[in-house]
Amino acid sequence: MTDMTTGPALRKIVGFALPLTAANLLQQGYVLIDGILVGHYVGVDGLAAVGVAGPMYYLLNAMFIGLGTAFTIRLAHLRGAQQDGERRGVVLALALVTAVWAAGCVLLATVLARPVLSLMGIHGELAEDCALFFGTLSIGFPAMFGLAAVSAYFRGLGNSRAAMWVQGFGNVANIVLVWLFLSVLGMGIGGAALATVLASAAALVVGLVAARRIYPLGRKRSEPAVRRELVDAVRLGFPLASQHIILAVGIMVLVWIIQSYGAVVLAAFTIVSRLELFTGMLFLDFSGAVTAFVAQNLGGADEDRARRGLVQTLGLTVGLTAVVSAVVLLARSPIAGLFTTDPATRELTERYVLIIYPFLVLYTVMVVTHGYLNGSRRTTAPLVCTLIAFVIVQVPFAYLLNGPFGIDAVMWAVVAGWSAGLTYSVFCLRDVLFARPAPTAELRGAQ
């Protein structure tokens, strides 16, 4: 287990984040390759179908993201407080939540997929493609949620390398299978979903074996407090889950807003959404690393070290964002060309990139500050931030202005939402960000 309560703060955070980033970049690399293969072997309509199905899965995954993060925070607090004996109860509670939620999501996906597509304004052949993709994907929900639970377990114990290897295995398997199913076997949109199902199942088996070998629970010495851990996870994770549910529903509303523009716009929306996930993954992983770092250090009652870690990570984040934004802006034309040969889709994708990527720093700084808030158990603040940024600003902006200004209004709505979210996040952490740092041991000695 990685101890983040000693040593250089930024080095610990970077050391925790980089293995996760390596795995997640590989995962998002798979998402990009999947999009490229779908675009070339299925066409623009295939890209549109995958883009529509994405927020539907995100909606079901939203609650589990929040609960998984809650278990990660709980494990990190136990690690910082040197209370490893309580880990069994956390593990059993996490396993129970995973099994129940996965089974419920399979049922929901079977019953509600077509009614939800209808509410989003998706009909005809596009709806059939979406239903096929999502229905096939739902078969793998137990494996997909189980894999997410294993990753949350490793992260909570500070072992991001184990999470990296397990996720990396699944991602490589996914890339190989989606290429085989689409380009060799010609299985179409259903094959893309089936590749994810099989790769997730294989990675889950690898993850469970690794978890048992690296962190054996040992013999049961006392009755594990599973009910207490479940209550604590729901209390801590519900705001986080609500945040992701709001995002998922908001994205579905955006799909409803733009679906009238046709498959070309939906395809461009899919491409840029995947590009955002790929380029934003590094900063989401820094946010997760800050969460674990802050949770351990606040668990060890070292508030000043937690603050230093946040400030130093923000400095690094701003510099990295400038580099990432410049690369994407300069390479926007070949990036669009990777996904599709359709001129209209390529042009719209490039315009979308030109509008949002100069402002990417707003997003990255916002998500890193959320890492501190989550690690300090202030999980309601990111939820309120999402309500402000997405529900109050971005979605109404896109809905009200897309009529007079067209699809560009939907793109500028993203920037408006980021601006509002960052403003609120800084307000929540004003006492942390602008506090005078406590004197270090060396300075106290000199005084």
pLDDT tens per residue across span 217-258: 655 555 556 777 777 777 776 777 777 777 777 777 777 777
Residue 368, token pair as written in the block: 């890193």
Q: In Å, what is the CA distance from 183 to each residue of 125, 129, 190, 373, 418?
A: 22, 18, 13, 45, 38
204 closest CA partner among 138, 141, 157, 281? 141
Query: Which range among 244-248, 283-287, 323-327, 365-369 shows the weakest confidence by mean pLDDT?
Result: 244-248
- Kindly indicate the confidence band of residue 419, based on its pLDDT and cuts at 50, 70 and 90: very high
The residue to which tokens 């999470």 are assigned = 163
Mean pLDDT over 311-320 rounds to 90
Percent above pLDDT 70 for the chain: 84
pLDDT at 151 over 90: no
Mean pLDDT over 157-177 rounds to 79
pLDDT of residue 382: 84
pLDDT at 291 over 80: yes
Mean pLDDT over 59-70 rounds to 76
pLDDT of residue 410: 84
pLDDT of residue 365: 92
80 closest CA partner among 234, 408, 302? 302
Mean pLDDT over 29-50 rounds to 66
206 closest CA partner among 161, 166, 171, 246? 166
Q: State the virtual CA torsion across 66, 69, 71, 73 in degrees, nearest 10.
A: -130
Residues 418, 413: Cα–Cα separation, whole Å: 9
Task: Please give the DSSP secondary-structure letter assigned to residue 28.
Answer: H
pLDDT of residue 446: 37
pLDDT at 437 over 50: yes
pLDDT of residue 278: 76
Mean pLDDT over 338-358 rounds to 86
Residue 403, token pair as written in the block: 């009529």
The residue to which tokens 């802006």 are assigned = 329
- Kindly indicate the confidence band of residue 23, based on its pLDDT and cuts at 50, 70 and 90: low
- Kindly indicate the confidence band of residue 322, based on its pLDDT and cuts at 50, 70 and 90: very high
pLDDT of residue 68: 78
Task: Please give the DSSP secondary-structure letter assigned to residue 182.
Answer: I
Q: Give the contacts of 436 (CB within 8 A, at least 6 positions apart).
A: none
Bigger pLDDT: 83 vs 405: 405
pLDDT of residue 34: 63
Query: Which range among 64-73, 313-322, 350-359, 381-390 shows the weakest confidence by mean pLDDT?
Result: 64-73
pLDDT at 170 over 80: yes
pLDDT at 119 over 80: no
pLDDT of residue 423: 93
Residue 219, token pair as written in the block: 């013999």
pLDDT of residue 20: 67
pLDDT of residue 290: 87
Per-residue pLDDT tens digits for 34-43: 666 666 666 6
Bigger pLDDT: 396 vs 77: 396
- Furthest CA-CA distance within the chain: 76
Average confidence score pLDDT of the chain: 78
pLDDT at 443 over 50: no
